Structure formats: structure tokens, C-alpha cells
A and B are shown apart, each in its own frame.
Chain A
Amino acid sequence: MTELKRTPLYDLHMAQGAKMVPFAGYEMPVQYPMGVMKEHLQTREAAGLFDVSHMGQVLLSGASWDAVAKAFEALVPQDVLGLEDGRQRYGFFTNEEGGIEDDLMFARRGQDLFVVVNAACKEADIDRMRAALEPGVTITELGDRALLALQGPAAEDVMAGLDPRAGDMRFMDLRELELGGIAVWASRSGYTGEDGWEISVPGDEATRLAELLLASSEVAPIGLGARDSLRLEAGLCLYGNDIDAETDPVAAALTWAIQKARRPGGARAGGFPGAEAVFQALEHGPDRKRVGLLPDGRAPMRAGTPVFDRQEGGDPVGIVTSGSFGPTVGGPVAMGYVDAEHHETGTRLWGEVRGKRLPLTVAKLPFVAANFKR
């Protein structure tokens, strides 16, 4: 067994009384003494600080922005070239079948492209980028940088108090800021459905920055447990659960993330792995689709719960891919895939939990309205 890696904030987590668990090869805080439920509500009502340093941070550079952007477009169905300086986008790597290899955030930083990928996929992602883009594009893993996320309605006051320029940023802006004398790259984004920032900081200054942010009475440290329930209420996918190499972006209800320029008839249509398969799915509609699933009762429906269109008998028409209790919703929430004829909002279905079919309703995502500063 390989040794678990630690982020630069490991000692701080221990000092805060975190319960640590293995996650994607790292020893990460799943919760603090506050507990998952309170940590979740703290983030929705004030602000939470998350250590997401396990995620991969990669910088792509080349002869010019156009050269880097065009090269990267060979791997993703997003409009990269059209990205203005200091702007960020959500995207995903596709495979030849149109499946999703990983989802990611990418931002233009001058002539460079700054990419943040999932921890569990980062080695494969870097290999994929090297194989496809070198030598024209230089790929640098920023292994010496940590990544913190400050999320929640109080994040703006905390950030603007440290650097007033933070307050001028819009959702999905990326800027260099100086927080307590520490130079950081901050994007106004995150994965909780709340306003907030993701802050890339040199690893050796990460603890000082975290302590500075935690010094605010509005901010508490939040673990991966609450991160999961927050992103689920926000209708956001967890790679490996809700999307994977077998799921195409149309089934995953992520077509909003494929800009016009890359669609049929667009200026740079196709040209990414699996473009034909994705275009076919776009034209014909998906066989199955990711939707919100809202159980009637109090029993959570966990990932793997089969979904039926009748209370007794028949074959499953869907499956839950993420399910838990939503502290802000105040009841169980889930998402999953259901067959085309059952994915209309309001459709009544049943999830089988411990041998019993319990009623649920197909619901619009997100369960909790996003609170972004657009």
C-alpha cells in the first residue's frame, strides 16, 4: 500500500481537531468537531474554509494564448479560445466514445491556461495533456501550490477586507490578489453553490493564509463530508459517481458547458475526442438523463439505489448516483440517471431501499438556488 500524501495544511487540520480519512491518495479532513450538519449550514449561512489542495493544479504555456487555447480545444468540447483574460470556465475531458474522463475548471491567465482537475484523475489528466499537447505546449504541474476554497455569503466581506479588489470580481473571474501580504491567484468560484473563492497559494504560505481567513468570526473550517452535501444540494456532479468515462455530457445534463463555437455549425465545431458521439446524442437526445430525485419521506436514498416506475415488479428505470440528507433542504436529496421516458420533472418514481419501494419525484436541479455574484 502506498503511503497517503498530506497537504501543506495537515498540521492545521490536526490542530483544529479534524477527523482524517483517506481520499484520492491523500489524508484529508472529512469533518471537524462541529460535525457535517453544522459545517454545511455554516457554509450556507456565513462562510466555510475548505482545503482542496489534493486537486491538481496545472499551468499550460506556449508560444501565444491562441496556440495554447487551440491546442487545449483538442481535448475538451469547450470554447477555450474565446476566453477573455482573467476568466474561468467549467469543462471536461472526453474520450473517443464521448464519455467524460474528468471534469475540470480552466482559466486564462495572461498567455497561459490555468487548469484545476480532480485529485483522483490528476495523473491520468497530466499524462493525457502531455501526450496530446507536448512539445508545442509546456505542461507544468504546480505541485508546490496549495488550494483553499472560501465559500459562503460572508466570503465577500472577508476577502474584500483583505484585498478590496476581491469585491470587484464577478463569478468566474480569476485575479492575482494580495491577502495579508501573500500573493495568490484567486477565482470567484467553487463547488458549493455559494458565492466564494478558490485560492491558489504557494504551499509554504498556505497555513498562514488559512489562519488569516479563519481569524474571521464568520469563517470555520469545513471537511469533505459537508463539501459533498453542499455540492449535491447545488446539483453539481461528483466525478466517479455522477459522471464517468461511460457517461456522455448530454446524458449528464452538461450540454450548457458546450459553447456554440464547438457545436455543429460553430466556428470550431468538433475536433475534440468523441465529437461525433456527442453530436449524435445532442441531436437525438439522451437515452437516459441525469436528474434530481427528491424522496417523499425522510429515508436517504444512497448511491446505487435502483429506481422503478412502479411500486411493485418491473425492471429498474434508473439508478441513484449521489444521495444523502440535505441539511439546507431539511430532508433527503439525490441525483441519478433515469430512462428518457421518465425524466420529466414531476414524474413519480420509486427508489428501492432495504427491499422497500419508497416514492420519489423527479426534480429540477439545483435543490438549493445558487448564490453567485454574476
Chain B
Amino acid sequence: MKFTEEHEWLRVEGDEIVVGITNHAAEQLGDVVFVELPDEGITVSKDDEVVVIESVKAASDILAPIDGEITEVNSALTDTPSMVNDDPQGEAWFFKMKASDPSQMDDFMDEAAYQKFIG
């Protein structure tokens, strides 16, 4: 698993990359009450806002970590946003994507580096 400075995790699954938010990010957000997912099949660029998450307190975005195509979204989150708090690094993945340039993955942190990053 790789981690971004925006508190996303990325897991390679065959030729796809699964994206979610970290335990740390979920804890900071508080109770998630609304998730808006992108359309499957769209092409995105790194740092595009692709997901909106609203907690009781505020709205925040998830950015596309790399360039590519959104191949699948986890529509269970739309009906049960609280999954994001219950299992952020497991069941509550947000979307899968195909990377246009897999070398963009090299920039991200491993778990040890991420733990150090969040202090």
C-alpha cells in the first residue's frame, strides 16, 4: 500500500489501483454523512476533485492521486457513508482507476514514511 500527503491510500490490484482515505484522515473528518462519487469511465488528471465527502462538521474533497481513468466506484458508500469511519482502509475504498503513467506511483510514501508524515 502507498500513501499520499493528501491522506489517501493506493493499493495495486492487477492493472487497477484502488483508492481510499487513511484511518488518520477518517478520524480527522469525524462522522461521514454524505459521499458523492465520480462517474465510472471518466478520465481524470492528478489533483482533480473526484469525490466529495461531508462529515457532520464540513465538506472536503478527495483528489485524483494520479492521471488515469476511473474504472469502478464503491457505490455502497453512497447508501452507507458511515462505512468510511468503520473501515477506511478496507471495505470503504472509494474508486478504482487505471493509471495512464504508472511511474506516478513512485512518488508516494510507504506505510512507515506515512506514519512519520502524520507524526
Which B residues have a C-beta under 8 Å from some C-beta of A? 30-31, 33-34, 36, 52, 54-59, 78, 81, 85
Residues of B within 8 A of A298 (CB): 33-34, 78, 81
Assess the B30–A36 pair: CB atoms within 8 A: yes
Residues of A within 8 A of B58 (CB): 302
Assess the B54–A325 pair: CB atoms within 8 A: yes
Assess the A225–B57 pair: CB atoms within 8 A: yes
What 1/0 flags go to A333-355 for Cβ under 8 Å of B?
A: 00000000000000000000010
- Nearest CB to that of A298 among chain B residues? B34
**A324 close to chain B: CB less than 8 A:** yes
Of A36, A37, A300, A327, which contacts B54 at CB under 8 A?
A: A300
Which A residues have a C-beta under 8 Å from some C-beta of B? 30-31, 35-38, 40, 225, 229, 298-300, 302, 324-325, 327, 332, 354
13 additional A-B pairs beyond A299-B36, A300-B54, A325-B34, beta carbons within 8 Å, are A31-B30, A35-B31, A37-B30, A37-B31, A37-B33, A40-B56, A225-B57, A229-B56, A298-B34, A300-B34, A300-B59, A325-B54, A332-B34
- Expressed in whole angstroms, the Cα–Cα distance for A40 and B81 within the complex equals 18
Assess the A324–B36 pair: CB atoms within 8 A: no
Residues of B within 8 A of A30 (CB): 57
Shortest distance between the CB of B78 and any CB in chain A (Å): 8
Given the interface contacts A225-B57, A229-B56, A299-B54, does A325 sit within 8 Å of B33 by beta carbon? Answer: yes
- Nearest CB to that of A330 among chain B residues? B33
Residues of A within 8 A of B57 (CB): 30, 36, 225, 324
Given the interface contacts A225-B56, A300-B59, A324-B56, does A36 sit within 8 Å of B31 by beta carbon? Answer: yes
Given the interface contacts A300-B54, A300-B59, A327-B56, does A35 sit within 8 Å of B36 by beta carbon? Answer: no
